[in-house]
A and B are shown apart, each in its own frame.
Chain A
Amino acid sequence: MIRVNNLNKSFGDARVLTDITVTFEPGITNLIIGRSGSGKTVLLKSIVGLHDIDSGEIWYDDVLFNKLDFEGKKKIRREIGMLFQGSALFDSLTVEQNVRFPLDMFTEMTQEEKIDRVNFCLKRVNIINANKLFPSELSGGMKKRVAIARAISLNPKYLFCDEPNSGLDPITAILIDELIKEITEEYQMTTIINTHDMNSVMKIGEKIVFIHEGLKCWEGSKNEILNTDCSTLNDFVFANALAKKLKSGS
């Protein structure tokens, strides 16, 4: 479980997040949704400690993460897997070396154990026979899968995904969403997913937090999102013409 209490974050004079308080439960897909520029990425990066926050608390289960020193944070980070918007695979390493990287860095596994683990993770995300390819030789969807494999290679307790299906075609996007949901349930991870894609919201939105201009405006589930009286959320949900028509028709 991850809890954020009264988080504030600004860059210089520009306030990006204001007084965010939210809880993310394990074993379900927690979604942070909002328009581009609303502060989703900054929130996620603040939670993992890539940004220093101005004030507030970030709890990983019963550890107050934002007050830890570098070494303390490092311990928690071993339990974090993160999927970045552009996949962020290491260009100079092959698929296999990318997934192996955390194992090389942080475990004392033998070569065979590492190879087994790499192949297990790659198989879990349906990447077969691509071990020796470089990221530049992969399609967008494959890159995301490899990035997921790398993120789960150390069996993390926490999984963060920043726009996991941006830049993918709708079908691949759904496959990636489902893969993340399955993995989350399988390992009972606390998973937080940033998205602005309503397809994802309706498909895997077990818990949804809506951010607008740095403020948390609404939280609920996909079953509740279509019938809210939060107007900014309605604008977001019914942004496209078809959805609007459906809403007025019903």
Chain B
Amino acid sequence: MLRILEELGRYFLLLKKVFSKPEKPSIYYKQTMQELVYLGLNSVIIVAIISFFMGAVITLQTAYNTENPIYPTYLIGLGCRDSIILEFSSTIVALILAGKVGSNIASEIGTMRVTEQIDALETMGVNSASYLILPKIIATLLFNPFLTLMSIIIGILGGWIAGTSAGVITSEDFIYGIQYAFIPYYITYSLIKTLFFAFIITSVSAYQGYYVEGGSLEVGRASTKAVVRSSLLILLFNVILTQLLLS
């Protein structure tokens, strides 16, 4: 228990250092642009592929589990839409990004720690926490909402293609279904969750990397820890946010 409190304290102290005044905004801008490519654009393809197939599977599952004449088939489209918007494109995509981006950040920063690159920044008088972590946080906060929107669109597209080509639903019914009783607030809800999750992934993983002690073995451990901890926090905050935003 004491250890948890100690770690929490260290985590918030790090955040305080991260959000202190940048020494040269132009350099931070440049870094952020790079991180947008590195952490954002590089995740587009994986998110697209996963979203497509998940959309497809969700549609087929819904169809086979509701094979009952009393349910109108357009409900399949509706079910696909809502599961994608509410849970899949925010939470599941965040879990996948925790694996990809989180381990990446932890190992990058961890390696910089054990090879004394962070010490080098500090001796030069650079606020290393801010220089290394702030651009990553900003980049993921900016970019992940686009990933979520993209995931929603591709997921629904995947559902439509799978549903119609497997013959479980007609194109008209599916399109009617995804428009039926649409609640725009669900999108907002999904994007708010995405922002929280993006912050969790980046800051928790950066924290794990920043305080590595030892060598490459410890960097590996930190990167595993980053994935596990950010995933658990995502699941926890998913419950909390759902309760706060949808109840």
Binding site for B on A (CB under 8 A): 45, 48-50, 73-75, 77-78, 80, 82, 84-86, 88-91, 101-102, 104-106, 160
Contact = CB atoms under 8 A, between A and B. Distances in A.
B23 A50 contact: no
B27 interface: yes
Contacts, number: 51
A88 B125 contact: no
Main SS at interface, chain A: mixed
A102 B119 CA distance: 14
A88 B124 contact: no
A91 B117 contact: yes
The 5 closest A-B pairs by CB, nearest first: A77-B125, A74-B125, A88-B116, A88-B120, A84-B116
Nearest to B131: A105
A20 B123 CA distance: 22
Contacts of B125: 73-75, 77-78, 106
Given A105-B24, A105-B27, A90 B117 contact: yes
Contacts of A105: 23-24, 27, 124, 126
B7 interface: no
A75 B125 CA distance: 8
B122 interface: yes
Interface of B is mostly: helix
Given A73-B125, A105-B126, A106-B125, A84 B119 contact: yes
Interface residues of B, number: 15
Interface of B: 23-24, 27, 111-112, 115-117, 119-120, 122-126
A73 B115 CA distance: 23
Contacts of B122: 50
A137 B123 CA distance: 25
A48 B121 CA distance: 12
